[in-house]
């Protein structure tokens, strides 16, 4: 009797314990709010499985046999352990903990990460968050290889190895020193003539985003540091194409100017993804939810697109946004 068969239902053990504590099947049935015959059947199943009599009749109810007393000791311990485990799981869900590594592309890192850390420290102080940044292709490799727990990148993955959720759309804009070019939409023809400062990653992404627009980018200076690109644009060294959120503050202070590319605009999709093979994690889900909140607030604040009078464009994300829980 030291080990209880896995085939036994916890419900049957719970009923057995209640009968033993009350000393009566009738009183237990009333307390549990179930029919007495159904309660009797649960006891009979236990007795059949153990091949032992658990109760004997007494004057005003039932009394435990020696086998019944041994089962009671084990059943009470098992039910306490199950209840304790449930309490621990619920507590962990309410206060998740552990180390989570978030991968972010370099263009999103300065926009999202400062607020993300502030939120995480306030809402989930038991989670140790680490952020690494790399290009989109590298982050996809990091996710599938398990080197990061989830990734925030400017596209939705096609791979079956990654589960992704669309968060927002961000406009890619031509950025110039303030006053270097009259405000207005940049045509494909003008963009073809404009010398640019661009890095490899952005250039590869723009080749995809601009496909079908009849644009052949003229990259005059190759530079893979976005902070330096922003400084060079402010100084009038050249122009660049960057995500609007990356230059939002400079444009608001009159240090740079963001111009829409073609009348319809050019947008990148922001998404969060996790490896399809990884097991769910309360801590990872918590980070994903906070990332989603931060992205939503940044979008609502207007950081993802310039305010261009008479040239408002409704994004694909706004037209067809779906609230999808990240299976993290």
Query: How high is the pLDDT of residue 5?
Result: 52
Write out pLDDT tens, residues 118-131.
Answer: 999 999 999 999 99
Query: How high is the pLDDT of residue 136?
Result: 82
> pLDDT class for 314, splitting at 50, 70, 90?
very low
The answer to whether residues 161 and 276 touch, using CB atoms and an 8 Å cutoff, is yes
> pLDDT class for 60, splitting at 50, 70, 90?
confident
Query: How high is the pLDDT of residue 311?
Result: 45
- Phi, psi dihedral angles at 319 (to 5 degrees): -75, -35
The answer to whether residues 188 and 213 touch, using CB atoms and an 8 Å cutoff, is yes
- CATH architecture, range 98-320: 3-Layer(aba) Sandwich (3.40)
- Range with lowest mean pLDDT among 132-136, 175-179, 271-275, 285-289: 132-136
Write out pLDDT tens, residues 163-172.
Answer: 999 999 999 9
Position 156 pLDDT exceeds 70: no
Write out pLDDT tens, residues 232-277.
Answer: 999 999 999 999 999 999 999 999 999 999 999 999 999 999 998 8
Query: How high is the pLDDT of residue 3?
Result: 46
In sequence order, which residues have a C-beta less than 8 Å from that of residue 109 and are 6 or more positions away?
A: 131, 133
Taking alpha carbons only, the member of 212, 323, 313 closest to residue 264 is 313
Spell out the domain ranges in the chain. 10-94, 98-320
The answer to whether residues 260 and 176 touch, using CB atoms and an 8 Å cutoff, is no
pTM of the model: 0.68
- How many other C-beta atoms are found inside a 10 Å radius of the C-beta of residue 123? 12
Class for the domain spanning 10-94: mainly alpha
Query: How high is the pLDDT of residue 318?
Result: 41
Q: In the chain, what percentage of residues exceed pLDDT 70? A: 89
Position 323 pLDDT exceeds 50: no
Query: How high is the pLDDT of residue 92?
Result: 66
Specify the pairing of strand 266-275 against strand 162-177. antiparallel
Q: Please give the average per-residue pLDDT across 41-50, as a whole number.
A: 92
């Amino acid at each position: 009797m030291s080990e209880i068969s896995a085939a036994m239902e916890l419900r049957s053990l719970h009923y057995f314990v209640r009968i033993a504590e009350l000393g009566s099947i009738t009183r237990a049935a009333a307390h549990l709010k179930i029919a007495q015959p159904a309660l009797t059947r649960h006891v009979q199943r236990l007795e059949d499985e153990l091949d032992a009599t658990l109760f004997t009749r007494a004057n005003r109810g039932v009394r435990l046999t020696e086998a019944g007393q041994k089962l009671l000791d084990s059943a009470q311990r098992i039910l306490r352990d199950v209840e304790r485990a449930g309490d621990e799981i619920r507590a962990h869900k309410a206060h998740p903990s552990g180390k989570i590594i978030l991968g972010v592309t370099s263009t999103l890192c300065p926009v999202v990460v400062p607020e993300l850390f502030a939120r995480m420290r306030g809402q989930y102080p038991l989670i140790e968050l680490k952020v690494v940044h790399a290009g989109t292709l590298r982050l996809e490799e990091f996710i599938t290889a398990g080197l990061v727990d989830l990734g925030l990148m400017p596209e939705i993955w096609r791979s079956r190895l990654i589960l992704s959720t669309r968060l927002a759309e961000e406009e890619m804009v031509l950025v110039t020193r303030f006053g270097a070019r009259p405000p207005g939409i940049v045509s494909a023809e003008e963009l073809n003539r404009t010398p640019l400062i661009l890095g490899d990653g952005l250039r590869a992404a723009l080749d995809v985003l601009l496909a079908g627009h009849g644009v052949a980018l003229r990259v005059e200076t190759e530079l893979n540091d976005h902070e330096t690109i922003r400084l060079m644009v402010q100084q009038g060294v050249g122009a660049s194409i960057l995500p609007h959120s990356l230059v939002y503050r400079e444009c608001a202070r009159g240090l740079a100017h963001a111009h829409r590319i073609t009348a319809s605009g050019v947008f990148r999709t922001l998404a969060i993804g996790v490896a399809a093979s990884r097991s769910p994690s309360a801590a990872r889900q918590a980070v994903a939810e906070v990332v989603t909140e931060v992205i939503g607030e940044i979008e609502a604040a207007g950081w993802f697109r310039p305010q261009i009078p008479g040239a408002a464009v409704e994004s694909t994300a706004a037209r067809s946004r779906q609230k999808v829980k990240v299976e993290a």
